[in-house]
Amino acid sequence: MKFNPILVVSGEPYSIFLELFFKIYRSKLIKTYKRPLILVASKKLILNQMKILGYKFKINLINQNMLNKKVLDNKKINLIDVNLNYKNKNNKISFKSKKYINECFDLALKLMKNKIGFALINGPISKKHFLEKKFLGITEYLAHKTNSKNNEVMLIYNDKISVSPITTHLPIKEVNKKIKTDMIVKKIKIINSFYKKYLNKKTKFAVCGLNPHCETINKFSEEDKIIKPAIKILKRNKINVEGPLSADTLFMKKNIKKYDVFIGMYHDQVLGPIKALFGFDSINITLGLPFIRISPDHGPNNSMFGKNKSNPKSLIESLSFLKKIRAN
């Protein structure tokens, strides 16, 4: 194909994602978007949500075995139909959709493995119902499914700054046990390579300490024993990095202009500030997989299902990002 398609897994059946996807097809972006989108979802579900929301789009039903021979465009919704084999009259998120979501991912991952897709986008997933505590998040789930365990990196990307937590969806009392010098070094190297390969950019990193003001009353200091050694190794590898820096002042205006990527030791240490600064004007990119995976930076928001009031900005940002990066 002239343009390898972007595969889109719709995620939770009863989330706001399909509403946002439909709004993409009403936007100016899709009219100039050369790379075709292929939605991996249930046709029955799509038709049902179109009816609820008042949308009418033609569907181009795709046979996955014929993708490399088919001419695709975005004039219709290109769809690989996955059977949603349960009834849910209340449109509630539950454990029952697990098989369906897993089949969507398996199919999309098979196509990505066969080099059919350029990138993978997925809609939001309920961690409680789908992952059932087997994985910390979809980042770790996809790493497991692609044999990339311990290479996965969560990057919340914005044109102005990006953030990345060394540990992801982990209880705060477990964080100090999990952060390691080699983990910090490895993840920052992966982010640095991504910026260089796809964005042709030299990256400047700011690394947070773990403790308030990078200080502790305990004998063991994570800053001295874990983070500082990582900084030294990274500098020896010619990576532009500073730290450990106190997180309470790190996101002030002067620092936002100074650094490109802010590395936190735990999830909310850096995700809280970027959402306070930019709302949902950012995207979640998983690095360290055999391909680029992006998820709009919002949850299923089931309470807004069917209301047609949700903002597609994060999904638009996801597609805009894929439009501008260099194909490799």
Where would I find the beta strands (DSSP E) of the chain?
Answer: 6-9, 37-41, 59-61, 77-81, 119-122, 153-157, 162-165, 204-208, 240-245, 261-264, 283-287, 292-296
CB neighbours of residue 89 within 10 Å = 5
Q: Which residues on adjacent β-strands are paired with residue 79?
A: 39, 61
In this predicted model, which residue has the larger pLDDT, 102 or 135? 102
Taking only the tens place, the pLDDT of each residue in 46-69 is 999 999 999 999 999 988 776 766
Average pLDDT over residues 223-242: 97
Least confident of 6-10, 128-132, 233-237: 128-132
The residue ranking higher by pLDDT, 321 or 70, is 321
Lowest mean pLDDT among 30-39, 291-300, 315-324: 291-300
User: Which pLDDT tens digit goes with each residue over 251-308?
Assistant: 998 889 999 999 999 999 999 999 899 887 888 999 999 999 998 767 767 777 777 8
Domain range 1-152+288-328, CATH architecture: 3-Layer(aba) Sandwich (3.40)
pLDDT of residue 305: 76
pLDDT at 246 > cutoff 90: yes
Assign domain 155-281 to a CATH class. Answer: alpha beta
Specify the range with the lowest mean pLDDT, choosing from 25-29, 183-187, 259-263.
25-29
Burial class (CB in 10 A: 0-12, 13-18, 19+), 78: buried
Indicate the SS3 state at residue 138: helix
Q: Is the pLDDT of residue 107 over 80?
A: yes
Residue where the block lists tokens 């249930």: 42
- Reported as a single tens digit per residue, the pLDDT across 113-152 is 999 899 999 988 877 777 767 788 888 889 999 999 889 9
The two domains 1-152+288-328 and 155-281 share their CATH topology (first three levels equal) = yes
- What value does the mean pLDDT of the chain take? 88
Structural domain boundaries of the chain?
1-152+288-328, 155-281
Q: Which of 139, 158, 144, 146 is nearest to 117 (CA)?
A: 146
Residue 154 reports pLDDT greater than 90: yes
Q: Kindly indicate the confidence band of residue 326, based on its pLDDT and cuts at 50, 70 and 90.
A: low
Q: What is the pLDDT of residue 297?
A: 66
More confident residue, 323 or 88: 323
Helix, strand, coil percent values for the chain (each to nearest 5):
45, 15, 40
**CA–CA distance, 29 with 311 (Å, rounded to integer):** 15
Q: What is the mean pLDDT of residues 94-107?
A: 86
Structure-token match 């950012």, residue found: 282
The answer to whether 320 and 294 have CB atoms below 8 angstroms apart is no
